[in-house]
């Protein structure tokens, strides 16, 4: 490499570095708590009980507002907070036929703040719709991941893998919640479809990738679709359907 191309590469790297710094300062990490509706600077005394890192732009788009105590950075220009009055988006009532046809813009925005197992998490919802609290346990509709305490070894191991899969995908991530016939189960957990920022349905991903059975004991909007995804996973011997395991 001659001197000139070295200089060009160096200049290019510097530009990249500057761009990265600009991006960081425009969209820094801020912190939310499990139950609050504000976002904070690191070190704020309201972060004593829980401290969940999140990008400023994400915090604002989910509906968190700046803390009045620690004076965190203001919402970036162009950030679009959710509307004031969110309604429950029930996919059965909306007549959504396929998981990918659902509209994330109508869903309840939340952040996964605690992981329980493959099909249950806790979420923080800064602007909950009527009938929903700011901090909720959510059981995913239409799926059942293997118990992590099952006596059979294979099943137990897949319970752990499913649990780890959900944790790695969802913990501290923004999600969009959609509902169905029943809002809650008998343990008072919210029953929801978990949508990701890219519009994909995490419940469907769990079944398709072989981390969960389609749970068909109670009716839900995508029952037939989830059955088909389970068949596909079984035929492809994915995850818990892999007989060699």
> By the 8 A CB rule, do 97 and 228 touch?
no
Is 67 or 178 the residue whose CB approaches Zn ion more closely? Answer: 67
126: contact with Zn ion by CB under 5 A: no
> By the 8 A CB rule, do 44 and 30 touch?
no
Annotation marks residue 139 as catalytic: yes
CA dist., res. 141 & res. 67, Å (int): 34
30: contact with Zn ion by CB under 5 A: no
40: contact with Zn ion by CB under 5 A: yes
Q: How far, in Å, are 144, 158, 216 from residue 226 at the CA level? A: 11, 19, 9
* CB of 170 vs Zn ion, minimal distance in Å: 25
Burial class (CB in 10 A: 0-12, 13-18, 19+), 147: middle
Torsion angles phi and psi, residue 28, rounded to 5: -75, 170
56: contact with Zn ion by CB under 5 A: no
> By the 8 A CB rule, do 37 and 46 touch?
no
User: Of these residues, 134, 189, 227, 234, which one is catalytic?
Assistant: 189
Candidates 7-15, 46-54, 119-127, 153-161; binding stretch for Zn ion (CB under 5 A): 46-54
44: contact with Zn ion by CB under 5 A: yes
Query: How many residues line the site for Zn ion (CB under 5 A)?
Result: 6
Annotation marks residue 231 as catalytic: no
Is 67 or 123 the residue whose CB approaches Zn ion more closely? Answer: 67
Is 73 or 129 the residue whose CB approaches Zn ion more closely? Answer: 73
Annotation marks residue 232 as catalytic: no
| Three-state secondary structure string covering 166-216 | HHHHHCCCEEEEEECCCCECCCCCEEEEEECCCCCEHHHHHHHCCCCEECC
User: Of these residues, 136, 139, 161, 208, which one is catalytic?
Assistant: 139
Residue 63-92 contact track with Zn ion, rule CB under 5 A, x = bound:
----x-xx----------------------
Candidates 59-67, 123-131, 188-196, 235-243; binding stretch for Zn ion (CB under 5 A): 59-67
Both tokens of residue 86? 């969110």
- Which are the contacts of 186, defined by CB distance < 8 A and separation ≥ 6? none
User: Of these residues, 65, 147, 156, 164, which one is catalytic?
Assistant: 147
Residues identified as active-site: 139, 147, 189
Q: Which residues bind Zn ion (CB under 5 A)?
A: 40, 44, 46, 67, 69-70
């Amino acid at each position: 490499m001659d001197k000139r191309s070295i200089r060009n590469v160096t200049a290019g790297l510097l530009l990249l570095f500057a761009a990265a710094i600009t991006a960081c300062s425009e969209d820094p990490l801020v912190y939310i708590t499990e139950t609050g509706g504000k976002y904070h600077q690191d070190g704020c005394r309201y972060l004593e009980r829980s401290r969940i890192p999140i990008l400023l732009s994400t915090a604002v788009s989910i509906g968190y507002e700046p803390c009045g105590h620690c004076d965190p950075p203001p919402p970036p220009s162009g950030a679009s907070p959710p509307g004031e009055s969110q309604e429950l988006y029930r996919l059965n009532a909306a007549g959504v036929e396929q998981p990918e046809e659902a509209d994330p813009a109508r869903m309840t925005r939340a952040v996964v703040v605690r992981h329980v197992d493959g099909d249950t998490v806790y979420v923080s919802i800064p602007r909950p719709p009527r009938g929903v609290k700011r901090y909720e346990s959510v059981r995913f509709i239409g799926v059942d991941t293997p118990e992590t305490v099952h006596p059979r070894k294979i099943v137990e191991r897949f319970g752990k893998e499913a649990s780890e899969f959900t944790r790695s995908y969802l913990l501290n991530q923004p999600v969009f919640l959609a509902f169905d016939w029943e809002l809650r189960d008998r343990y008072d957990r919210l029953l929801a479809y978990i949508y990701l920022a890219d519009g994909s349905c995490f419940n469907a991903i769990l079944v398709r990738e072989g981390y969960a059975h389609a749970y068909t004991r109670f009716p839900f909007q995508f029952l037939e679709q989830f059955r088909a995804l389970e068949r596909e996973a079984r035929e492809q011997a994915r995850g818990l359907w892999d007989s060699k395991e």
